[in-house]
Amino acid sequence: MHPVLKLVVQRVALGLLLLLAVSAVIFLGVEALPGDTAQAILGQQATPEALANLREQMGLDQPALTRYFQWLGGVVQGDLGTALTNKADIAQSIGQRLGNTLFLAGCAAAISVPLAILLGLIAARYAGRWPDKLISGVTLTTISLPEFVAAYFVIFLLTQVFPIFQPVAMVFPGMSFWAKLHAVALPVIVLVLVVLAHMMRMTRAAILNVMQSAYIETAELKGLTPMQVVWRHAFPNAIAPVVSVVMLNLAYLVVGVVVVEVVFGYNALGQYLVDHVTKRDVPVVQAVGLIFAAVYIFLNMAADVIAIVANPRLRHPK
């Protein structure tokens, strides 16, 4: 088997095993919480008989291992089950919200990825000088802020000081693209601030590392301008680590938006997850957690595969 294909197959197999392990960890984590769904529905004043009857109706009287494998068997067949609290189909509920999460993450990525690469190129071009120090200082300041702090600061600035946007990111079916874009502007700004520094710093570091190569000196001796050297010669050879960190941040934009969605009241997967964690609705928590884990593992796996394919020593073994 070709070395590249062998490594790709290994990464895919490892990703599937990791996803299985994550599903078990999510189940055990929810099981470890005090109380259960029946207690959350009936309240603290419920009688033991009422709790026992409701647990039997929901299947909560079965052993945890049995419930886990029943759920896992359903997932393999494409059935995520029904919510214990309202009997709603989980797949349908997730489908309505997954589009909102992907729209938010996509808007943030469309802004943050090219902006981070551009700022990284500028910082590398003027390394050690004031543009580099200014870009690094501002981006490191934004990444140092917790998400909720950045969110409340953006809300105060753009809804109170400059009343441009609404503090709640309210979206609903039938909205036009531009209306939806205006509604999610604030959470998009927060997510861009959070992920920008990491990608920018990696782009800068990768380019500065390549700039030490002999062919860069040759390009400079040809009379190319410093920015032409960076763009035409340094950046294409620094693309592998940049792509890896971009993939990691894309995964974060999908998986790590829970806090931002809750702060802005955005009706998406993060808000859906938080609502059902408080209700101890295990099937919903498992399903959403598994989707988040699958996205994160898939994008990390894609980053590994791209790094493998981009390695000429693996593509052309001696």
Mean pLDDT of the region 206-211: 81
Give the mean model confidence (pLDDT) for residues 213-239: 76
By CB neighbour count within 10 A (0-12 exposed, 13-18 middle, 19+ buried), where does 227 fall?
A: exposed
The structure tokens listed for 243 are 């792509």
What is the predicted pLDDT for the residue at 109?
92
Q: How far apart are the C-alpha atoms of 32 and 15, rounded to whole Å? A: 26
Residue 42: count of CB within 10 angstroms of its CB: 14
Higher pLDDT, 313 or 277: 277
The residue among 68 and 308 whose pLDDT is bigger is 68
Q: How far apart are CA 30 and CA 64, in angstroms?
A: 11
Confidence band for 107, pLDDT divided at 50, 70 and 90: very high
Average pLDDT over residues 177-201: 90
Q: What is the DSSP track for the chain?
A: --HHHHHHHHHHHHHHHHHHHHHHHHHHHHHTSSS-HHHHHH-TT--HHHHHHHHHHHTTTS-HHHHHHHHHHHHHTT---B-TTT--BHHHHHHHHHHHHHHHHHHHHHHHHHHHHHHHHHHHHTTTSHHHHHHHHHHHHHHHS-HHHHHHHHHHIIIIIS--S-SS----TT--HHHHHHHTHHHHHHHHHHHHHHHHHHHHHHHHHHTTSHHHHHHHHTT--HHHIIIIIIHHHTHHHHHHHHHHHHHHHHHTTHHHHHHTT--SHHHHHHHHHHTT-HHHHHHHHHHHHHHHHHHHHHHHHHHHHT-HHHHS--
Q: Is the pTM of this model over 0.85?
A: no
Task: Say which CATH class 90-281 falls into.
Answer: mainly alpha
Cα–Cα distance measured from residue 206 to residue 25, given in angstroms and rounded to the nearest whole number: 36
pLDDT at 60 over 90: no
Mean pLDDT comparison of 3-7, 102-106, 210-214, 305-309, highest-scoring range? 102-106
Average pLDDT over residues 197-204: 86
pLDDT band at 134 (very low <50, low <70, confident <90, very high): very high
Cα separation, 288 vs 273, whole angstroms: 6
Q: What is the largest CA-CA distance in the chain?
A: 86
State percent of the chain over pLDDT 70.
93
Average pLDDT over residues 199-224: 80
pLDDT at 20 over 80: yes
Among 111, 130, 295, 304, residue whose Cα is nearest residue 200? 111
pLDDT band at residue 185 using 50, 70 and 90 as cut-offs:
very high
What is the structure's pLDDT at 112? 92
Confidence (pLDDT) at 247? 85
Region 51-75: mean pLDDT is 80
Higher pLDDT, 191 or 227: 191
At residue 215's C-alpha, the angle toward residues 211 and 219, to 5°, is 90
Radius of gyration of the chain (CA): 24
Average pLDDT over the chain reads 82
pLDDT at residue 186, rounded to an integer: 93
Q: Look at residue 110 in the predicted model and tell me its pLDDT.
A: 93
pLDDT for res 188: 93
